[in-house]
Structure 1
Amino acid sequence: MTAPTTPGPFGALREQLTAAASTFAGSSDAVAEILAGIVDDVDRALGEELEIFPVCHHSPSSALAMVRRLRAKQPKVIYLELCEDLQPLLGELRNCRLPVAVQAFASKLDGFPADWGPLSVVAPITEASAEYQAIAYALETPGVELVLVDRSTDHVFQWLPRPPGTADKPPPGTAEEAPSGGDVETTTPAGEEAALHGDAIGVEIGDLRPRFAELEAYLLHHGKVRHWSEWWDQYVEQPLADADHDTYRQVMVLIGSLFRRLRPAGSDARDRDEDRERYMWTRMRQHLAASGADPADCLYVCGAFHAASRVEQFGLRADAPFDIGPRTGTRWHYGLIPSSHSAIEAQFGLAPGSVSIAATTWTKAVARTGLAPFRLQGQRGGRTRTAGRRRATTAPAPAAGVADRLSGYLARPPAAQGLDEAELRGWCVDIVRLARRNGYLASTADAIAVFETSILLAGLRNRARPTPYDFADAAVTCIEKDVVPGRRDVRRLCEILFGGDRVGQVGYEALPPLARDVHDRLAPLGLDLEKRTIQRALVDLRASPELVPCSDLLWRLRHLLPSDAVRPIMGERRLGQRSIQESWDLALGRNQRSLIELGYEGVTVEQVLEQRLRRAVRGPDATASVALGAVEDAIRLLDSPRLVDELGTRAVELLAAERTVDDAPEVLRRIRRLLAHHRATGPLPAWCEAFVTTGYAHYCTLLPTAFLDEDSGVRQVGAMLGFLFGMESLALSLGCDRSQLELAVAQSHPAAPAKVALLWAARHQLGLLPLAELRERCAELLGNPLVVPAFPQYLSGFVQALEPVPGLAPFVVEVMSSAFARLPDPVLLPWLPTLITTLREHGAELVPLLVREAGRTFPGSLAALDAWVPPWSASAPPTPPLAAVVSGPVSALLAANPQSVDAVAALLGCDGGWREPDGGGTAASAGLTALLAAHPETTDAVAGLLAATPR
C-alpha cells in the first residue's frame, strides 16, 4: 500500500519513524517501509466512515474502553466479529453463569470427510471481555441491533487447508496444526476443567499475538517475562487501562498492524485472515444497504489484528466484490456449554492463571473508576450493585477528525503506579494461609520473605510495583522450594488466590430438550443435579417402585455419558437380572457439556441410545461381536423387541461376511449368554436360530484355514471349535449337517504344536481318536528328546481345548501332572510363567475348571499324599472283568427291580425266564450272564466305556 499524498494527522509521526529507521538501520528501506506502513494502517482504520473498535480477547482494558465508548456513542447497530450463525444463542446467556461457551456441533457430516467428525466450534465468553459488554448493551438497550458478521461455523471448516492427497485427514487438533493467523487456535486441554471444551476449535475476537516466533521470543526476552500473557499485561493492559478513547484505538491498531506486517508471507493463515476480513466487510455493506442504517450510528467491534486490514474490500466505500460460497449440507446443532478460566487458557495458549488475573483486574478497575458495566438482566452468578456506587457520567463524543495521540503516547513512559503495600501484604498473608491448609509448613517468616522477594523481582524486571506474576514467582521460591506435600503446588494456590478457576454453568432454561428431560425425570431422586459436586443417590426399587423409571434412565445415561458422570456403586443390570437396591454417584453438573452434546443427537435419551446402537452395527468397523454387544445393550436398556430383532439380523449378516476369526472368542461368549437368556425367557427368536446355523456353516468353512493361518491364534481356533461343538445339538436340530464338521476336521493339517493339540481334542470329541490313543501320543511326545522342548506348547493347546471339549479336563490334569513330573527343569521353569500369563490373559474362565478337576483328582491331605497312586499310573489296579462287575451289586440291583430287565428282554425278543421264581441272586446272575453273552456288542461297548474312565 502506498503512503497517502497528504501528510494527514500522522504525518509528523511518519517522518519521525522514517528518520529513526534511517539512523538505526543499516538499510533503511525495509524498516522504513514497515514503520510507515504501520502509521498508514492506523490512519486508514481511524479515518474509516464506519467506526472500528479494536479489541483483544479477555482484556480488561478493552472491556473498560468498550463500556466507556458504548455509554458515550450509544450506537444503534453493533457489528461483532463472531460466527454469524451463533447469533440466536446470545439471548440464552441470561440463563447462564459465566464463563460459558457458545457452541456449534455436528456429528452427521455432509460435504466434509467422514474422518473429521464430530465437528465442534466454541466461542468462550467471560464477563471481563469487550464482546460480552457489547452483547449485553445490544440485548438490553431497546432499539439496538446486534449483527454477527464473521463467517459461519460451516465456513470455518470449509476454509481449513486440505493438502493434496489428504482430503480425509481429520481437522487439526493441536496448536501446531491450528491456523496461526486470525482468531482460531486449537489445543488439547489437559485436566478436568481444562477439558471442558474438548477438542473443539476455539473462535474468539481479538487474538493479539505475534505470528512471527522470533518476534515473540525477542519481546519476551527483553521484557524479562516468561509468557506472552505476562508481557501483554505489563506493557499493554496496564498502560491502556485508563487511556482515553482515541489513544486506546490508535495504540490497538498500531499493535495489530505491527503483528500483521511482521508475519511469514505466503501462509495459508494469511489467506484465511484476509478472506475473513472480506467476508465481514461484505456482510456489513449488505446489512447497511438492506437496513438503511446511518454508519455514524454503527460500531464495528473486531480484533485489532483485523482492524489494520489492507484488503481491497476494506471500508464502506469499497466496491470490490467477494463471493461468499454456500454452506455444505452438514446439519449444525447449537447450544451453550460450560466453560472455565483454565479451559480458555488451554484453548488459546494463554499462561495458566492469566484469565483469573484478568477477571480480578476487571473487578478492581470497575471499583476504582466507578464505571457501571453492562449486564444481561437475570444473569446468574452476578454481583448485585450497591446503591451507593458512583455511576460514570456519559463522556462527550470525540471531536470531529482524528488527532494524533500516538506521538505523545510513544514518546513518554506510562505513568508508574507506586507500590501498594497493603495489597501486597494481603496477598502474602493469604498465600501463607492457603499454603498451610494444603500441607505446607509456611509461617509468618515465609510471608515476609514473599513480600520482600516480590519487590526484589519487580525491581529486577524494571517494574515499579510487583505484578501478580512477580508475586507468584516469589511465592514458589519462598514457600514451595522443591517439595509439594499435597495435590496443589504453590503456583496453583496463587491462581486460587487471584480468583481461582471460575467454572460457568448453563441454566435449566438454556439447556436442550434432552437435558431438561433428564433433569425432570430424575427429579424424584430429590437431588440438585446442577451442582458440580458428586451426589449419592440411594434407590430402593422394592420399597419405592416409583423410582424404577429413574433407575432405567440412570443405566441408559451410564451407557451414553462419561464413566464419572453416572457411576453405579451398588447394583448391576445384566441379561435377565435387575437389582432391587441401587446406589449411584451422580456428577451431571460437572459433566454438563457431555449432557448438552447428547441433546444435539435427539430429543430423548432413548432415541439417542437407539440411534447409537444402529450406528454401531452399520458402521464400517462393525463386526458380529459388536452387533451382539448392541443386542445385549438393547435387551438390557431398551424394551424394544423390534430393535433387538433388527440388530440380531444385522449380526447374522456381519457374521456371514467375516473373513477372519479374530472375534471368535467374543462371538462365542456373547451368543452363549444371549441363548441362555432367550431360553430362560421364552422361545428362541428367529435371528438366534439363523445366527447358530450361519455360524455353524461359516466356522466349518473357515476351520481348515484357521488351523494353518499363523495370524489366527490358538484361542481363536479354540473358540471356533467351542462354537461348533457347543452349538452342535441346536444346529443339527435346525437342519445343519454334521458331516460339515467332520470334513472340516479331516481337512485340517496344522503345523503349530498348540493347534495340533487342539485338532487331537476335536478328533477325540468326534469319536475319531480314543482317549487311550491320545494318551499314547502324549507319552510319545514326552519320550522324544527332540519334542520335549516344544511340549509346553502342546500343553497350552490342550488347555485351550477345554473350551470346546470340557470333558477333557481329567486328561488335561493328567497331562500337566505328567509334564511337571517328567520335563527337565531347563524346559519347565521358563515355561511356567508363560503358562500362568497365558491362562490369565486368554483362558481365565478355564482355570476354575482345571482347579476343580485337580481337587477331585489329588488327595486332600498331606498324609494321604504318600499313599496316593495316580489313577492314570500303570501300577493302578486293573479294571475288573465285566462279569465280576455285573455279578456284584449290579446283579442284586437288577434282581430287586426286574421290570427294566424284562422290558429290555421283550425288546430283544427274549422270554422272561432269566430268573428263578424265588428271585435268588444266583439265578439272576446266570440269566443275566446268558443274556449278555447272546448280545456281545452291548457288553463290548460298556466294557470300553468302563476301561476308558479313570477311577
Structure 2
Amino acid sequence: MSGPHESSTFVALRDQLQEAAATFAGGPDALESILLGMVDDVDRAAREPLEIFPVCHHSPASALAMARRLREKQPKVVYLELCEDMAPLLTELRNCRLPVAVQAFAGDLDGFPAEWAPLSVVAPITEASAEYQAIAYALDTPGVELVLVDRSSDHVFQWDRRGERAQEAATEGTAPPEQAEAALHGEAVGVEIGDLRPRFAELEEHLLRHGRVRHWSEWWHQFVEVPLGDSDHDTYRQVMFLIGSLFRRLAPGDGDRVRVDEDRERYMWTRMREHLAATGTDPEDCLYVCGAFHAASRVEEFGVHGSTDTFTISPRTATTWQYGLIPSSHAAIEAQFALASGSVSIAATEWAKSLKRSRVKPYRLEGQAGAKKSGRKKAVAAAAVPAPRSTDAGDRLSGFLRRPPVLDGLDEAELLGWSVDIVRAARRNGYLASTADAIAVFETSILLAGMRDRAKPTPYDFQDAAVTCIEKDSVPGRRDVRRLVEIMMGGDRIGQVGYESLPPLARDVYDRLAPLELKLQQRGVQRALLDLASRPELRACSDLLWMLRRLLPHGAARPIMGERRLGERSIQESWDLALGTHQRALIELGYEGVSIEQVLEQRLRREAYAPQATTATVLAAVEDATLYLGSRRLADELGTHALKVLATERSVDGAPEVLRRVRGLLAYYRTHEPVLPPWIEAFTKAGYAHYCTLLPTAFRDEDATVGQVAAMLGFLFSMESLALSLGCDRTQLELAVAQSHPDDPAKTALLWAAQVQLGTLSRAELRLRCDELLDNPLVVPSYPRYLSGFVHALEPVPGLADVVVEAVSNAFGRLPDEVLLPWLPLLITTLRSGAADLAPLLIREAGRIFPARLAVLDGWIPPWRAPQTDPFAARRSRPEPDGPRGAALLPAHPATCDAVAELLGCTEGWTTADAAPLPSGVALLAAHPAACDAVAGLLGCGDQWTDQAASAPTGAALAARHPITARALESLLTGT
C-alpha cells in the first residue's frame, strides 16, 4: 500500500491547511503536523479496500447514511464493532420493543478477582442508530453474513486495569480513581459503540464556547447532524474520518484508555483478516461498521494489508458468561455516553423527520415488536426514491469545509405546533400558561436562534425559550418545563423484551403467575387480589410473590395487605405488581439459575458464607430459608454455620439482632416441630457460654452500647432454662456478673437489674440505691442515664417495670423544678434514641399503677409508699388449739398411724388399752420413741431421745425435752 503522501486526492486540502498553519502559528510547528496528519488519516481510511463506514452512536445522520449505503452497495458481509460473543443474541431483537440492550453477565468468576463479581457488559441498541440498520439488513437479507469483530466480554475485563490501579493506589497511600458514571449502564460496564466525543477538555470547551451552545449534544446536532443530513456518501465518510482523527490526535497521548483503544483496533482488524482468509470473501463485497474514532486508526494492523504477526489475541478465562436481552431506555443511554438529558429522545424525533423528508426506507427486523407497519403503497414509493450519489469519489472534504453553513428556512408551522403543545402540557402540570406564553415561546425561540447564528430554531433553542417564558420562579408539579419539552419531543422511551426472548426463569415466573389473570409484562403498577381461603390454588402464587419481593428491587412486588412471618400465613393478600417496569432485574435473575427457588437458595448461601457475614446475617438467612423456601435441610445447614460464625466473633455489635432472631426461631420450632433441631440446641449452649465470656468485657468497653449489653443479658436470661437443661452451668453467669464493674451510669443500672434477676440484690436494696442517687446532688445530673439503663433492663428483666416506674416517679416528685427541668430534655432524648421499643412496656406498667381519673389523683398513694402488710402475719397470729386433737385423731385412725410408723422404720406396736391416758400426743410419742427421733432428725432437730428416767411420765418427759419436735409433729398430724 502506498504511503499517505503519495495520493493526490487531498493535495489541494493539504496545501490549504499547511498555508493556514503557517499564517496562524507564524511558521511550521506542531499545528501543521496535526492538520496534515488529519488529512493523512482521512486519506488512509478512504483508500482502504475494505470499505470503512464510520458512525456515531445514536446519530440520525449516521443511521440515514447507513440505510442509503446498504441499499446502494448491498454488501455480502457486514463487520460490526460489537462484542463477538454477543452474536447469537441479535436474532432475538425482533421479539423486543426497542430500545433494548444486549447483555453479557457472569456471576461465578474464574480468572478475575472475586470482589469484581458480578460482571456485566451491555450494548444498547435503538432504531435510530446505524448499528441497528446494519443488523436488520444482515439478518433479513438472504446471503448476507453478519460478523461481530470487537473484543469479547471476557476481554473487556481482561484489559481492565482496575485491580492494578487499586494496588498502585494502596501502595502509594492514595484512593483509586472512581470509574466515571457516564461509562455505566445501570451497574454494568457499557460498551461504547460509535462513541465520538472530544477527550481533550479544552477542545470541547472551545467548541462549545465558539459554537454558542451549552453542551456537546447541542454542538453535534448543530454542526454535524444538520449539515450531514442530506450529504452524499463520500462527503459523509470523509467528514466523519476528519472528526475522528481530530479527536484522536488531540486526545491525551498516554493512559489506559489509549492502550485499550489501540488494542481494540488491532483485535478487530485481526478478526476481519481471519474471516477473509477463511471464507475467501472479496474485501470489495464487505462493509466495516465502526466508530469514527476507530476508523482513523494508526496502528500497524490497520487494513487488510496491515501487519499480521504483531498482535496475538489472548485466550479467554474460564469464567462462564451468560447472555440475554434487557430493557434499556433513552435516559440510560444518555448516562452511558455522557449525553445531555433528552438528547436521545430528540435524536429519535429527528430520525423520524429525516425519514419523512428524505423518503428513505429504513431497515427493520421482520416482526419487530413496536414497529409501525407501513402500507404497501408507501413502501413502494419510499423504495422508488433514489439515494443521493456522489459524482466524484475524490476530495469531497475541501468543498464541505469551504461551504458556508446552510441556513434552513424557518418552519413556522413546526415551531408553532411546538409552542402550542408545550403550553398545553404546562397547563396539565399546574403552570398558569396561556396563549400569550405560546406566542412568547414562539418569538423567543426565533430570537435565541438568531443570537446563536442560525435561522431555524433547534429543539434546544425551543427548550431554552420555553423555560424562560413559562417556568417563572417555581415548579408547581412533579415535572419542570425542561422535562416537559423532553417528553413532548419523544420522552424517555423504555424498551421491552418479548416473552420468547426471556430466560427460562423469567418465563417460569410469568407462567406461574398466570392464575392472577394480569398483564404482567406491561409497564406500570397492577393490583392483584388473592383470596387464599376460597381459592387455595393461589397459594403457589403467594409463595412466589413473597420470594420475588425478597429478590427484586423495591416496588417490583409490594404487599399492600397481608404479611408473612414465622408460623403465620395470611388468608387474604393484596399486591402491587410492577414486573414489567422491573423486567431487567427479573431477567438478570435468570442468569443466576433456572428457577426462583434455586436463585433464592444461592443468594442465601452467598450471604451466609460471605467473608463479612455476622451471626445475625446467618440467622437471617436461616429465617428466610424457613419462611420462603420451607427447607429444613438448608435451615439446618445454615444454622450449623451460624455456630462457627458465633465462635469467631469478639464483639457484641450484633447481639440485639441475634437475640431477636433466635427468639423468633425458637418460638417457631417449639410450636411447629416435635423436637428442637440439634443446631439450635447447640447454638443455645454455645451462645450462653459465649456471652458469659464476653459480658465483663462488654460492661467495661466504651464502644459497646447499653442496648447491646442488654441484649446479651436478654439472651442469657431468656435462654437460661433451655441452656441449663442442656448442661450449662449457672455459676458461669453468676461469675460473669460478679466480675462486671462498669463505669457508665446506664450500664451500672443494667448491672443492678441483672443482680436482682440473679437474686444477689433484693428489690428493697435496689430501691434504696435509687433513693441514694436522688439524694446525692453530684449524681443528679447523670440520673437520666441511670434511668436509660433501667429502661434497657426491661429487655432481660421485664419484671422490673414497676421499679422503673417508681424510679421515674420519684425523680419527678422529689426534685425541684430548677434541677428537673434542665435534664428533662436529656431524659426524653435518651429514652427515645436508645429505648424506643421498650417504652410501650413502661407505659403499660405506668397505666396500671397510676389512677385513671383525675379526681382520684389527690388522694392517691403510690404503691411503693403504702404500708406493706405481712402475708403470713395472720397464720402466725392464729391461736393454739384448745384440745389435744392429735390424741383423738390417732386412735381414730390406727391403720394410718401404723403406716406412718412403718414408713419411718418403727416396729413398736400400740400400748395396752388400760394404760393411763396422757395429754395431747404424748402417749403416741412415748409409744414410739424411735419414730420421735426419726421425725426430729427429719425436721432438723439435733437433740435425740434420752433414756434418763424422769419423775414425769415418759411421754411428758420426751415432750418437755423436745418441745419443737412435739409441736411440729402434732401440727403435721392434726393439720393445724
TM-score after normalising by structure 1? 0.90
Work out the CA distance in 2 between the residues paired with 1:932 and 1:27. 131
Q: Is the 8 A contact 1:47 1:402 kept in 2?
A: no
Q: Is the 8 A contact 1:99 1:505 kept in 2?
A: yes
Q: Match for residue 228 of structure 1?
A: 216
1:97 aligned counterpart, secondary structure: coil
The answer to whether 1:822 aligns with 2:814 is yes
CA contact (8 A) 1:9 1:402 kept: no
**Shift in Å, 1:178:** 4.4
Q: For the residues of structure 2 that align with 1:250 and 1:719, how far apart are their CA atoms? A: 74
Q: Which residue matches 1:879?
A: 869
Report the counterpart of residue 449 of structure 1 in structure 2: 440
Asked if residue 861 in structure 1 is aligned to residue 853 in structure 2, the reply is yes
Q: Secondary structure at the match of 1:388?
A: helix
The equivalent residue for 1:681 is 672
2:458 alignment counterpart: 467
Residue 868 to residue 5, structure 1, CA distance change in 2 (3 Å):
closer
Match of 1:41 in 2: 41
1:602 and 2:593 matched: yes
Secondary structure at the aligned position of 1:845 is classed as coil
Aligned runs of 1:265-664 on 2, under 5 Å?
265-319=253-307, 320-389=309-378, 390-393=381-384, 402-664=393-655
Task: List gaps (5 residues or longer) in structure 2.
Answer: 890-895, 907-919, 922-962
Question: Contact between 1:82 and 1:204, CA under 8 Å: does it hold in 2?
Answer: no
Q: Structure 1 653/830 Cα, relative in aligned 2: closer, same or farther at 3 Å?
A: farther
CA distance 1:84–1:822, change in 2 (3 Å) = same
- On the 8 A contact 1:115/1:168 being kept in 2, the answer is no
Q: Is structure 2 residue 787 aligned with structure 1 residue 788? A: no
Amino acid at match of 2:723: A
In 2: Cα distance, 1:862 partner to 1:41 partner:
95
Residue 794 of structure 1 aligns to which amino acid in structure 2? Y
* Matched residue, 1:710: 702
- Secondary structure of 2:121's aligned partner: strand
Q: Secondary structure at the match of 1:54?
A: strand
Q: Distance in 2 between matches of 1:402 and 1:250?
A: 10
- Alpha-carbon contact 1:186-1:201 (below 8 Å) kept: no
Residue 186 (structure 2) aligns with: 198
Change (3 A) 1:168 1:592: farther
Paired position in structure 2 for 1:152: 152
Aligned match of 2:937: none
- 1:242-291: CA deviation from partner (whole Å, max 9, x where unpaired): 11111110010011001111112222211111111111111111111112
Task: Give distance in 1, aligned partners of 2:177 and 2:164.
Answer: 19
What is the Cα deviation at residue 48 of structure 1?
A: 0.7
Q: Does the 8 A contact of 2:232 with 2:388 survive in 1?
A: no
Paired with 1:877 and 1:636, the residues of 2 have a C-alpha distance of 53
CA 1:164–1:206: 2 relative to 1, 3 Å: closer
Q: State the distance in 2 between where 1:427 and 1:672 align.
A: 64
What secondary structure does 1:392 align onto?
Answer: helix
Q: Quote how far apart the aligned CAs of 1:602 are.
A: 0.6
1:25–1:31 CA contact under 8 A, matched in 2: yes
Write the distance in 1 (CA, Å) between the matches of 2:123 and 2:470: 37
- State the shift of 1:861 in Å: 1.9
Please tell me the root mean square deviation across aligned C-alpha atoms, in Å. Answer: 2.9
Distance of aligned partners of 1:103 and 1:828 in 2 relative to their CA distance in 1, 3 Å threshold: farther
Counterpart Cα distance in 1 of 2:203 and 2:159 = 27
Opposite residue 76 of structure 1, the aligned amino acid is: K
Matched, 1:239 2:227: yes
Paired amino acid for 1:291: T
Deviation at 1:586?
0.3
CA distance in 2 between partners of 1:324 and 1:580 (Å): 61
Classify 1:164/1:561 alpha carbon distance in 2 versus 1 (closer, same or farther; 3 Å): closer
Partner Cα separation in structure 1 for residue 280 and residue 169 of structure 2:
45
- CA shift at 1:407, angstroms? 1.1
TM-score, structure 2 length as denominator? 0.88
Q: How many angstroms apart in 2 are the aligned matches of 1:169 and 1:436? A: 54
Q: Distance between the aligned counterparts of 2:765 and 2:706, measured in 1?
A: 23
Which residue identity lines up with residue 330 of structure 1 in the other structure? T
Unmatched runs of 5 consecutive residues or more in structure 1: 180-184, 189-196, 915-929, 940-951
Q: Could you give the per-residue CA deviations for residues 338-394 of structure 1, whole angstroms, max 9, x where no partner exists?
A: 111122112211111111111111111112222111111110000111222213358
Q: Separation in 2 of the partners of 1:325 and 1:824? A: 83
CA distance in 1, matches of 2:417, 2:848: 76
Q: Relative to 1, partners in 2 of residues 1:533 and 1:638: Cα closer, same or farther, differing over 3 Å?
A: same
Contact 2:232 2:389 in 1 (8 A): no
1:842 equivalent in structure 2: 834
Instruction: Tell me the residue number matched to 2:934.
Output: none
The residue type equivalent to 1:114 in the other structure is A
Distance in 2 (alpha carbons) for counterparts of 1:851 and 1:497: 57
Alpha-carbon spacing, 1:539–1:399, altered in 2? closer, same or farther (3 Å): closer
Larger Rg: 2
Supply the AA of the counterpart residue of 1:503.
Answer: I
Deviation at 1:20, TM superposition (A): 1.1
Measured in 2, the distance between the counterparts of 1:306 and 1:383 equals 34
Partner of 2:712: 720
SS in structure 1 at match of 2:377: coil
Equivalent AA in structure 1 for residue 509 of structure 2: V
Corresponding residue number in structure 2 for 1:759: 751
- The reply on whether 1:71 has 2:71 as its aligned counterpart is yes
The count of aligned residue pairs is: 895
Structure 2 counterpart SS, 1:415: coil
Paired residue secondary structure (2:857): helix
**Cα offset for 1:597?**
0.8
Whole-angstrom distance in 2 between the partners of 1:887 and 1:843: 47
Segment drifting more, 772-781 vs 432-441: 772-781
Q: Secondary structure at the match of 1:337?
A: strand
**For residues 387 and 814 of structure 1, do their structure 2 counterparts lie closer, same or farther at Cα, with a shift above 3 Å needed?**
same
CA shift in 2, pair 1:400/1:367, >3 Å: closer
Which of residues 712, 735, 743 is equivalent to 2:727?
735
Structure 2 residue matching 1:578: 3-state secondary structure? coil
Q: Say which SS state the counterpart of residue 29 (structure 2) adopts.
A: helix
Residue 810 of structure 1: which of 798, 802, 811 is its match? 802
With 38-47 and 841-850 compared, the bigger mean Cα shift is at 841-850
Q: Distance between the aligned counterparts of 2:229 and 2:390, measured in 1?
A: 22
Q: Aligned equivalents of 1:307 and 1:215: distance in 2?
A: 20
Work out the CA distance in 1 between the residues paired with 2:463 and 2:549: 41
Cα gap change, 1:397 to 1:410, in 2 (>3 Å): closer
* Cα gap change, 1:177 to 1:752, in 2 (>3 Å): closer
CA 1:375–1:932: 2 relative to 1, 3 Å: farther
* Pair 1:934–1:426, CA change in 2 (3 A): farther
Counterpart residue type for residue 311 of structure 2 = F
CA shift digits 1:754-780 (9 cap, x unpaired):
222222221221111122222222222
What residue identity is the alignment partner of 2:250? L
Per mean C-alpha deviation after superposition, the further-off stretch among 72-81 and 773-782 is 773-782
The C-alpha deviation readout for 1:822-850, integer Å capped at 9, x for no partner, is 33545533433333333334323322221
- Match of residue 104 from structure 1: 104
Between the aligned partners of 2:768 and 2:905, the Cα distance in structure 1 is: 41
Q: Distance in 2 between matches of 1:573 and 1:910?
A: 64
Amino acid at match of 1:344: I
Match of 1:577, SS state, is coil
Counterpart contact for 1:175–1:186, Cα < 8 Å: no
For 1:198 and 1:495, the matched residues in 2 are separated by 21
